[in-house]
């Protein structure tokens, strides 16, 4: 017997009781106030549905907030939150809320460079 089920994107699903699966969407939240906390974002988005996670992004080197983050919510709540909160003002900043896009692989790495030639020490003579 073959079972056909709708495929879910990489953002995944959360298994609920039994065979029930609940789609989860990841939202990008931009233009955040630098002093925004996970808790504030959880409460703000929680008004529109179940929040599964909040991740505010910090600079790797300085540890300072970068002014954006990601919120994972149930599909229905994510749609409502995006509609309600895109453009919502928080501490004088208009939030940008969009469905998160998968990161594109970085290009330009490896190989390339290296030219240069035959090493060796100065002078024009042969070995």
C-alpha closest to that of 68 among 79, 80, 82, 58: 58
Tell me how many domains the chain contains: 1
Pair 23, 99: CB distance under 8 Å: no
DSSP at 10:
T
Query: Can you give the CATH number for the domain in which 89 is found?
Result: 3.30.70.330
C-alpha closest to that of 34 among 112, 78, 92, 81: 92
pLDDT in tens, the chain (127 residues): 444 444 444 444 444 444 445 799 999 999 999 999 999 999 999 999 999 999 999 999 999 999 999 999 999 999 999 999 999 999 999 999 999 998 888 776 555 555 555 555 555 555 5
Question: Could you tell me if residue 107 is inside a domain?
Answer: no
Q: Tell me the pairing of strands 89-90 and 65-74.
A: unpaired
Question: Could you tell me if residue 46 is inside a domain?
Answer: yes
């Amino acid at each position: 017997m073959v079972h056909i089920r709708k495929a879910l994107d990489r953002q995944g699903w959360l298994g609920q009781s039994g065979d029930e699966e609940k789609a989860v969407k990841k939202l990008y939240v931009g233009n955040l106030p630098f002093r925004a906390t996970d808790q504030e974002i959880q409460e703000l988005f929680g008004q529109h549905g179940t929040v599964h996670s909040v991740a505010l992004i910090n600079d790797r080197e300085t540890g300072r907030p970068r002014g954006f983050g990601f919120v994972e919510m149930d599909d229905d709540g994510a749609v409502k939150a995006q509609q309600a909160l895109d453009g919502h003002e928080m501490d004088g900043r208009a939030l940008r809320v969009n469905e998160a896009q998968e990161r594109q692989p970085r290009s330009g790495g490896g190989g390339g460079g290296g030219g240069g030639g035959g090493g060796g020490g100065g002078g024009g003579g042969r070995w």
